[in-house]
Amino acid sequence: MKFAKTFQKVLAEETLPDEWMEKAIRYKSLKKIINKTVSELESVGVSRNDMTINYEISKLKRRIRPVLTMNVSPLSEALIVDKLDTLGYNYEIKPLKSQSQSEPESDDHESGTTELETPENSSYSTLQKFSDKLQVQLPEPTMDDRASVESSIEASAVSFLKTPISTTTAPSSASIVTAVNPFDDEPFYQITVSLHEDAKFFQMLYEEIEALNDFSDERENEITDWVEKIADIVAKVSSPEVRKNDLYTWRKIFQIYMDSQIFFSTIEQSAGVLSNATSKIRYGKFLEKIEKEKLVQHFKLKESLDGFMEFKALNESILKVSNFQALNIMAISKILKKFDKRTHFKSKELFPLLIQKSEQIDILQNSMGRDIGSIMTNRLLNIIPQVDDYLCPICCSVAYKPIRLDCGHLFCVRCLVKLQRKTEDRCPLCRQPVVMKADQRNLDLSQMAYLKMYFPKEVKKKQAENEKEIFKEQYGHVVDPDAKACIIM
Ligand SMILES: [Zn+2]
Ligand SMILES: [Zn+2]
């Protein structure tokens, strides 16, 4: 299926609001302009077979300007100039070399010895080499250029285009015309011209991308506000200061959510923004797990259920936005590829670079997944502390009661007592000799209160384990910690 159709079909399937559909890249219209560009190139007589063509795209404020530079033989020059005049284009024409250098060397055109001879598919890089060879001095930009040039791709090449090739020895064009053999097919002139249809194409594409970028920013702001709203709900329903709260249920949900890595992966091999298809699958799996563990049924508060519904709607909206964005980025890439295929220019390399130089436009970098991921983590998921961040590095259970050594590292009291018994003076993390001097003054009371508040179940379990261990030390065997009557306090 042709991309234009696929694009429309997928957009339609997503059941997006009309406002979104209007912002989608107008792929079909752009494709029509490509056809016009091809006709224009034909009518001007630009053909890759007999000339060296360099294509540049620059941007003056919000105006995109493609510039075509052709190194042509005297015969082609006459034909092209005639067409350009007839069609009313503004163009510049310069001799490529001075008269003395341009003396026809011989009738043997196949010899391939002249330095300007370039292969048929001459590219930008061959022209660049050519410019280096000529050691052109860059002229001072005119006031107009200085004021208006915001950015341009390959600045050196552009200035090269504006530079008279031979500043001192260039003869008048009249004398060249008389001196050259019009049937010599060596490149002899350089014609610089801006055509109309390709300019229209890039201008339209640029404006579409700009609008899409604004639209994306708006969606991101909406999502940020939404995240804040949900964060307020979750903070309220999970507060341990209220007796009836859903702290553990929300913690579990967020833990599963983070492990699911829905929009952004932090795992080494696949680090980075994920494709929309992957995000959708991972989101589906996240919901399955929530369902399997019956977490929603565990909510004690009705606000929690409302909050979870909002959280689901938020995620589904993010999936929609990022899918819309990914589709448009694909459309942009496809249309540039089409342009290049039809014209043989290299806009797919040039144009995205030009756009990315615009600080306000970052849509092509597809950074939404990353942005959303960090908003989610910082504003919402971090509201509920996860026990993994409060583990003792030795026993890997919650660091209760927390002893903060003079080096700043924190361990649970049991592990520290064991170190002291072995007269291990060095901190296991930083090797500073701080263990032996630690005593009850090193008990981090505020941390202890915090752990007790946010991890009451883990703390209780840890205490029970500690008691079990003490009992074992004293009596040499383990008793069931649940058999409370036996425990020595
Ligand atoms: Zn420990
Ligand atoms: Zn330390």
Using the 3D structure, point to which of 386, 401, 435 is the last residue of a domain: 386
- How many domains would you assign to the chain? 3
Last residue of a domain, one of 201, 231, 252: 201
Domain containing residue 246:
218-386
Both structure tokens of 455: 């991890």
- Whether residue 264 sits in one domain with residue 340: yes
| Dist CA 134 CA 115 (whole Å) | 11
Q: Is 32 helix (H, G, I), strand (E, B) or coil?
A: helix
In the structure encoding, which two tokens stand for residue 356, read together? 């990315």
Report whether 189 contacts 291 (CB < 8 A): no
- Do 363 and 382 fall within a single domain? yes
pLDDT for the residue 135: 35
| Ligand in closest contact with the CA of 432 | 2
416 alpha carbon, closest ligand: 1
**Domain match, 251 and 324 both:** yes
Decide which of 329, 352, 386 is a domain's last residue: 386
User: Within 13 A of 275's CA, how many CA atoms are on the CB side?
Assistant: 5
Residues with CB under 5 A from ligand 2 (ion): 407, 409, 427, 429-430
Residue 398 is assigned to a structural domain of this protein: yes
The CA R_g of the chain, rounded to the nearest whole Å, is 35
Beta strands (DSSP E) in 389-454 are: 402-404, 410-412
Q: Ligand 1 centroid vs 395 CA: distance in angstroms?
A: 4
Could you tell me if residue 213 is inside a domain? no
Q: How many angstroms is it from 424 CA to the middle of ligand 2?
A: 13
284 Cα–ligand 1 center, Å: 37
Residue 212 within any structural domain of the chain: no
Ligand nearest to the CA of 397: 1
Looking at the structure, do residues 259 and 244 belong to the same domain, yes or no? yes
The answer on 39 and 94 residing in a single domain is yes
Q: How many degrees, rounded to 5, is the angle at CA 400 between CA 394 and CA 402?
A: 80
pLDDT, position 129 = 34
Ligand 1 centroid–CA 176 distance in Å is 90
pLDDT tens for the 489 residues of the chain, in order: 688 888 888 888 877 888 888 889 999 999 999 999 999 999 888 876 667 788 888 888 888 999 999 888 888 888 889 999 988 899 999 888 654 444 444 444 333 333 333 333 323 333 333 333 333 333 343 444 433 344 443 333 333 333 333 333 334 444 444 455 656 667 788 999 999 999 999 999 999 999 998 998 899 999 999 999 999 999 999 999 999 999 999 999 999 999 998 887 777 566 666 778 888 999 999 999 999 999 999 999 999 999 999 999 999 999 988 888 888 988 999 999 999 999 988 898 889 888 877 767 777 776 777 788 888 888 999 999 999 999 999 999 999 999 999 999 999 999 999 999 999 999 999 999 999 999 999 999 999 999 999 999 999 999 999 898 888 888 866 555 455 554 444
Task: Give the model's pLDDT for residue 269.
Answer: 63
The CA distance from 53 to 121, in Å, is 9
- 53 and 174 co-located in one domain: yes
Instruction: With respect to residue 209, please indicate whether it lies within any of the assigned structural domains.
Output: no
Q: Are both 196 and 223 inside the same structural domain?
A: no
Distance, CA 6 to ligand 2 centroid (Å)? Answer: 59
pLDDT of residue 366: 67
From ligand 1's centre to the CA of 400, what distance in Å? 8
pTM of the model as a whole: 0.73
Q: Amino acid letter at 330?
A: M
* 208 found inside a domain: no
Contact assessment for residue 70 and residue 46, using Cβ atoms and an 8 Å cutoff? yes
Please tell me the distance between residue 387's alpha carbon and the centre of ligand 2 in angstroms.
21
Cα 367–Cα 203–Cα 153 angle in degrees, nearest 5: 65
The per-residue pLDDT for 173 is 43
Q: Which distant-in-sequence residues (6+ apart) come within 8 Å of 10 by Cβ?
A: 327
Backbone angles phi, psi at 315, to 5 degrees: -60, -40
The Å distance, Cα 327 to ligand 1 centre, comes to 50
Which ligand is the nearest neighbour of the Cα of 411?
Answer: 1
User: In this structure, which ligand is nearest to the CA of 404?
Assistant: 2
Do 273 and 193 share a domain, yes or no? no
For residue 406, the ligand closest to its alpha carbon is: 2
Are residue 442 and residue 322 in the same domain, yes or no?
no
Note whether residue 254 is domain-resident.
yes
Cα 406 to ligand 2 centre (Å):
8
Tell me, yes or no, whether 297 and 165 share the same domain.
no
52 with 71: CB under 8 angstroms? yes
Ligand 2 centroid to 433 CA: how many Å? 9
Distance 391 CA to ligand 1 centre (A): 8
Distance 301 CA to ligand 1 centre (A): 35
Residue 230 in any domain: the answer is yes
* 244 plus 382 within the same structural domain: yes
Find the 396 Cα to ligand 1 centroid distance in Å: 6
Beta strands in 386-430 (DSSP E): 402-404, 410-412
CA 289 to chain centre: 30
For CA atoms 286, 292, 297, 301, give the dihedral sign. Answer: negative
∠ CA 75-81-86, rounded to 5°: 130
| CATH at 401 | 3.30.40.10
In this prediction, residue 455 carries a pLDDT of 97
Cα(439) to ligand 2 centroid in Å equals 15
Q: Which two tokens stand for residue 162?
A: 């504006």
- Cα–ligand 1 centroid distance for 443 (angstroms): 14
| pLDDT value at residue 174 | 41
Rounded CA separation 253/255 (Å): 5
Q: Are 38 and 342 in contact (CB under 8 A)?
A: yes
For residue 415, the ligand closest to its alpha carbon is 1
**Within-domain flag for 206:** no
**Same structural domain for residues 357 and 455?**
no
Helix (H) or strand (E) holding 69: strand 63-72
